[in-house]
Amino acid sequence: MEYPSISYHFNRAEAKTLRMPPHQPFNPLAHVIETEPHLAVWLRRHRLEAALTRMVRAHLPRLVAGQVRVTDLRDGQLELTVPSGALATAVRQQIPELLAALASHSREFNGIRVRVQPLAAFITTPTPPSRRPPPATAPLQTLVKRLPDGPLKDAVSRLMKRK
């Protein structure tokens, strides 16, 4: 049996041909996820967490709301995750109001846990010091020549030696 062929490339130098069965209907990814039992459970959980995240964010101050997300829902406890301890403190102060607001939306919880989970985006790596362009050193050289001997001249000289 001959199948229609579709060309795809592993890399530019080598092309392969994939043979597909003739009558496979196109299924959107959303349909595949909804019909696959294991994936459907995860999809429902994701949708619930997204809906709860929107509800929680609607009842928090704007600067705090964008950093909060719902990460777990277990034993009647809602777990919120924030990227820093300062935000966790701000959210913890709002827990009674959040519980009341969620209850008004027919979402009853025994409590809310706030967990700090730093984001990799907030972790900075030290950057090497930038080099001063040659035109920036000329005024410093002139200043060093005009200054009398003393701690200021020594400090400016050390600054000039840094690259």
pTM for the whole thing? 0.55
Looking at residue 11, its amino acid is N
Cα 118 to Cα 46, 57, 71, 87, 115: the distances in Å are 21, 19, 14, 11, 10
Quick: pLDDT tens for 3-38. 444 555 555 445 555 555 566 677 787 777 788 888
Quick: pLDDT tens for 49-81. 999 999 999 999 888 998 999 998 888 899 999
- CA–CA gap between residue 69 and residue 53 (Å, rounded): 5
Looking at residue 137, its amino acid is T
Domains in the chain (CATH in brackets) are 29-119 (3.30.300.180)
Give the mean model confidence (pLDDT) for residues 129-152.
79
- CA–CA gap between residue 122 and residue 94 (Å, rounded): 24
- CA–CA gap between residue 22 and residue 24 (Å, rounded): 6
Q: Is 52 helix (H, G, I), strand (E, B) or coil?
A: helix
The answer to whether residue 86 scores a pLDDT higher than 60 is: yes
Q: Given pLDDT bands bounded at 50, 70 and 90, which one contains residue 98? A: very high
Region for residue 39 given its phi and psi (left: phi exceeds 0; alpha: psi -120 to 50; beta: otherwise): alpha
pLDDT at 130: 60
Quick: pLDDT tens for 144-154. 899 999 999 99
CB-based contact 68:87 (threshold 8 Å) = yes
